């Protein structure tokens, strides 16, 4: 895998958004492997390699996290706080990718250390282009060394 072909972890509970993301990945021929978890607790299990995610081969460290806000068990803001409070993952680039247009969610996301806040565009073509642009941007920037 090329050093710019980092793993992307997505925490998303909405099956339609997961399907759209996988379709956008395929449509845009993205080389970056995409791994999906369904809530904040599962996201932290993946990052810390707990339970079903104990094998580093099947759960490689992500270079970027796409994090939804509205999820069951542990929402995206709680998950972001836990990530930023940890020594291991405080530098992991986190993009809030959400339907929430609430100003308080945007402010809280940035105050907790989100690298970006993107409201999911409506319609597959717009969503696919947003996913492609996110991926292209992060391929151009230098990621922290431990997250590839």
* 34-52 pLDDT, tens digit each: 999 999 999 999 999 999 9
CA distance from start to end of the chain: 10
Number of domains in the chain: 1
Residue 50 lies in a domain: yes
For residue 114, give its domain range. 8-141
Residue 146 lies in a domain: no
Determine the Cα–Cα distance for residues 82 and 62; give it in Å rounded to an integer: 16
Q: What is the pLDDT of residue 135?
A: 79
The residue among 64, 110, 70, 68 whose CA lies nearest residue 91 is 64
The residue among 1, 104, 17, 126 whose CA lies nearest residue 66 is 17
Is 146's pLDDT higher than 70?
no
DSSP 8-state assignment for residue 104:
H
């Amino acid at each position: 895998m090329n050093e710019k072909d980092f793993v992307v972890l997505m925490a998303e509970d909405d099956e339609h958004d997961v399907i759209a993301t996988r379709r956008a990945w395929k449509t845009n021929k993205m080389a970056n492997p995409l791994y999906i978890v369904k809530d904040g607790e599962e996201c932290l299990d993946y990052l810390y390699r707990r339970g079903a995610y104990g094998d580093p081969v099947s759960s490689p460290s992500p270079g970027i996290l796409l994090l939804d806000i509205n999820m069951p068990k542990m929402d995206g803001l709680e998950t972001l706080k836990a990530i930023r409070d940890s020594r291991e993952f405080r530098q992991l680039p986190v993009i809030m990718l959400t339907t929430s247009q609430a100003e308080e969610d945007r402010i809280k996301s940035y105050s907790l250390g989100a690298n970006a806040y993107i409201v999911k565009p409506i319609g597959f073509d717009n969503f696919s282009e947003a996913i492609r642009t996110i991926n292209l941007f992060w391929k151009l920037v230098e990621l922290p060394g431990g997250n590839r």
